[in-house]
Amino acid sequence: MYNELYEKSGSEIIRVLGKQYSDYRKRMGYTQKDVAEKSGLSVFTISSFENGSSTGIALASLIKLLRAIDCLEEIEKLLPELPESPRALFKKQYKK
């Protein structure tokens, strides 16, 4: 899966995200209209993202969409917090 991502274009990755978002939304029982009302985005924008016809979704819009289906915590998976580096840990240990 990891190597497959690097072989895809940005547009292809966004299409996959749109499809996955659609699956999440439906499984959680939300309609596109529900999401539009909660997010402030248009049904057209949501539909375009989900069906892959719009591959230029803004990060701010993606955050609104995740918030609308109560999945905002998933955004943390994009860039998880890094553990402290071994060098920093070493420096802390010998400063005492």
| Residues of the chain scoring pLDDT < 70 | 1-2, 96
- Cα 50 from Cα 65, distance rounded (Å): 11
Instruction: List, as one string, the DSSP characters of 57-96.
Output: --HHHHHHHHHHTT-GGGGGGTSPPPPPPHHHHHHHHHH-
Q: What residues does each domain of the chain span?
A: 2-78
pLDDT of residue 2: 64
Stated pTM of the model:
0.80
CATH of domain 2-78: 1.10.260.40
pLDDT value for 3: 77
